Structures are given as structure tokens and as C-alpha cells.
Chain A
């Protein structure tokens, strides 16, 4: 099945090609390795995590932003302890 709009981030293992249009990278999705186009993410570097759709990397995962939601959650956890309410 092709999951057209679904994507899990994969780790960029290596980069090949100098031509911007044909630049590719091998990306590991939890061990499954695919070669994808890097034409739209010239900023991507080896070891970055990239979001890939139908063979094309479209975004480099921002690690600082990824950590932020859990920092907020930790903060919220404390707030939740202060005003406990039963879940729905």
C-alpha cells in the first residue's frame, strides 16, 4: 500500500549526486532503507531526520521543536497535579 500523505521521519544515511534536481539520499525508516530525492531539502545533512512523501524528502525534522512538546507536557503534568480532575 502506498500511504500518500502519511510519513514517518527517517534518518538520512548518506547523500549522492551533485545536480540539485537529481540529488538523492538513502534514508533509514527504522531499518527499512529507501533512496529518496533530496531536491527539495538542500539543507539536509547526514544524520538529519527527514519527512518523506512518495519518494521525496519535504522537511527536515527540527529537534528543538520536537523536544518542546514534551517540555510543555512536563509543565502541564505539574499543573494537572495541582488541580486534579477525573478523566472523561
Chain B
């Protein structure tokens, strides 16, 4: 496929890896924000092409992973109510709540419908006026425009049976929390390319300046990721704390103003609880008061929260980049994609799932690998 295949070709990948090796003179630790980038790195073995003094740690950019248990419980409870259909991205279905997951809720008779887009959920609501349709609106800035558009379309169509269960999160506050945490070892970031297609680069300059870290907007194919690593290494070696764009074919400096306007029209910045990371001030999006009628918790009431259950899952450390999946005693033993203890083992963007899928045999063969 055009704009995919050429970014996976070995000569380009090796040329970039060689350039990175030549230009890295000191040990550096970089974090890729987005779980999609983590999957590319692990799938294509890009980390193994890097010099040993260059470490990639995996960031919190997995929307499924950071969605609070309480909201998953709420979605499960709503799906069990007569007349209510919960529409969700497929990734959410196996994420454990405090008891079961949405997939189990569906098997027990709950109305849970997988959709590719929130706009499909609007179409479903329009076609089924007898159902109360709740869309589980999770995600970062990449999914926010579509979720906001769903609300605008529902209002335009006069739908009274469509609401959102909102759990939107924002990338820059999470980066700030990571950089400000006592155990932080991240010296440079590969920013999430597709978040930046929406938001552009402006939000990152204050972070780069305050914490003296370079931030390179990076894409998802092997060539994109290594180009991002190379630019980040160049900045670090030169002592530059700059924000630059290594994914210019998709990301404009100002982002997408139309998408930003749609987001601003519907959502407002709120404090948000992140699974594994805790409450981060002004780190998420919620519906503006003028769209309160589209708030599922307001329409249907907030289900009683379940008491917290003890778990040996170390998702918080994984999401902060302070541990790798193999350092978890449950990884691959009591926690697998079939029986996940935590969200990073479930999602197509979760770090544990990536390692389990692409690295398991290697790790078992070589215990020194981590």
C-alpha cells in the first residue's frame, strides 16, 4: 500500500539504524507516547536495531489501558439495563472491570455492540429509536473529533436516544505527570503522530522548555519511528530541547483547525482519573454544559461503584515507563490475552499485549532479554 510499504523497506530501516548508531555517543532514554508506536517497535524489532546505550520505554498512550475501572463497570451496568444498548470500540470488550468485562456482560445477555466509529453508533441510534444507545467514548485527541462529531450529528438529527459515556484523556498532561514524577528517567519523547494531526505542535513547546526535553512528532511505520529516534538523538546530543516534526506528511504545525473547532464546540477540559496513573488535573475532556443531555451518566444515573479489588497487575508502572512487561511476575503466566489481569495485556495498543504477541518465545529462550 502506498505510504505504508515504502516505510517498511529494509534498506531505509537499516540506513536509519546505522545513522542512529553513529550519532549516539552517550546513553539516552526515550519514551514513545503512543501504544500504536509501541506495537510497531516490538513487532518489527526496531529496539533491537538500536545501540545498547539507547533505551526506548513505552508510554501511556493506550486509551483502553487508562480508562478507569469505574467507567468500565458503569458501561457493564448500563448494558445490563433493559432497553439500553452500549456501543463500544472492540478493544474495550476484554478489558477487566472490577468484576467481569463487557464481553462477559454480553454473553450474559447484556446489549453490547461493537462499532468501528462513533458515527456508526449514531446511525444505529437513528435506526433504532426504541433503544437507548450509549456510546463508550474513550480515547485521546485522535478520537475526540469523531466523538464530538457524533454528538453534533445526533443533535442535528434530533436524536433523543443517543448519549456518550465519556472517558476522554489528553496527552500533554500525561507527559507532564511522567516528567514530574520522582522516578522519571525519560530524556526525550517521540510524540504521538496521530494526536498531532489533530492538535499540532503548539502544546508541546511549554513542556520541552520547562523540563528541558526534546519532543519529536513521530509516525508509526518503521522508517517513521527510526526517523523520530534519530531526530530526538540529534537534539539530545546537541543539548537542544526543541519540538520538531518527523511526520510532516500527515501532521501540520497547527494541526487540524476544523477538528479542533468540533472538539471545542462539544467538549471542555476536565480533571480525569487515569487507570494506573491516578487523578491528573485538567487531563481529560468532558461534555460542555450545553451538551449535558448527551451525558449517559446524567441520563441513566451513575451506577454504584464497586469496591477496589486487589491485583498483582503493575499496569501503572508499565504506563509510566518504569517497568517492562517481563518484569511483572504475572506476565505470560497468570496474565495472558485470553485471561488478562490488566488492560495493557488486552489492547491492540497495550505494551504487555505487544510483548506477549511478538516476543514471548524469545523471552522464554533468553532470560537476560528484558
Residues of A in contact with B (beta carbons under 8 Å apart):
1-9, 11, 21-22, 29-30, 34, 36-37, 39-42, 49, 51, 53-56, 58-59, 61-63, 65-66, 68-70, 73, 76-77, 80, 83, 85, 87-88
Report whether B194 and A7 are in contact in the complex, using a CB–CB cutoff of 8 Å: yes
Report whether A11 and B2 are in contact in the complex, using a CB–CB cutoff of 8 Å: yes
Report whether B91 and A2 are in contact in the complex, using a CB–CB cutoff of 8 Å: yes
Query: B15 → chain A, closest Cβ, in Å?
Result: 5
Q: Is the CB of B202 closer than 8 A to any CB of chain A?
A: no
Residues of B in contact with A (beta carbons under 8 Å apart):
1-4, 6, 12, 14-19, 21-22, 34-36, 39, 49-52, 61, 63-64, 89-91, 114-120, 138-140, 142-143, 145-147, 149, 152-153, 156, 192, 194-195, 197-198, 220, 223, 227, 248-252, 256, 258-259, 262, 348-349
CA distance A54 to B136 in the complex (A): 13
Report whether A80 and B18 are in contact in the complex, using a CB–CB cutoff of 8 Å: yes
A–B complex contacts, Cβ < 8 Å, 12 sampled: A2-B114, A4-B63, A4-B142, A5-B34, A36-B117, A56-B146, A61-B250, A68-B248, A69-B227, A73-B223, A77-B15, A88-B51
B223 / chain A contacts, CB cutoff of 8 Å? 69, 73
Q: How many A-B residue pairs have CB under 8 A?
A: 167
CA distance A88 to B119 in the complex (A): 47
The 3 closest A-B pairs by CB, nearest first: A55-B117, A2-B89, A56-B146
A9 / chain B contacts, CB cutoff of 8 Å? 1-4, 250
Report whether A37 and B146 are in contact in the complex, using a CB–CB cutoff of 8 Å: yes
Report whether B2 and A21 are in contact in the complex, using a CB–CB cutoff of 8 Å: no
Q: From DSSP, what is the main secondary structure of chain B's interface residues?
A: helix
CA distance A1 to B136 in the complex (A): 15
Taking A5-B142, A37-B146 as known contacts, 4 extra A-B pairs with beta carbons closer than 8 A to each other, sorted by chain A number, are: A5-B61, A55-B119, A59-B251, A87-B21
Query: B292 → chain A, closest Cβ, in Å?
Result: 21
B121 nearest in chain A by CB position: A55
Known contacts A5-B36, A54-B116, A55-B117: A85-B18 contact under CB 8 Å: yes
B91 nearest in chain A by CB position: A2
Report whether A73 and B16 are in contact in the complex, using a CB–CB cutoff of 8 Å: yes
A49 nearest in chain B by CB position: B3
The residue from B21, B36, B149 contacting A37, defined by CB atoms under 8 A apart? B149
Report whether B349 and A3 are in contact in the complex, using a CB–CB cutoff of 8 Å: yes
B227 / chain A contacts, CB cutoff of 8 Å? 69
The residue from A2, A42, A88 contacting B17, defined by CB atoms under 8 A apart? A88
CA distance A87 to B267 in the complex (A): 48
A63 nearest in chain B by CB position: B249
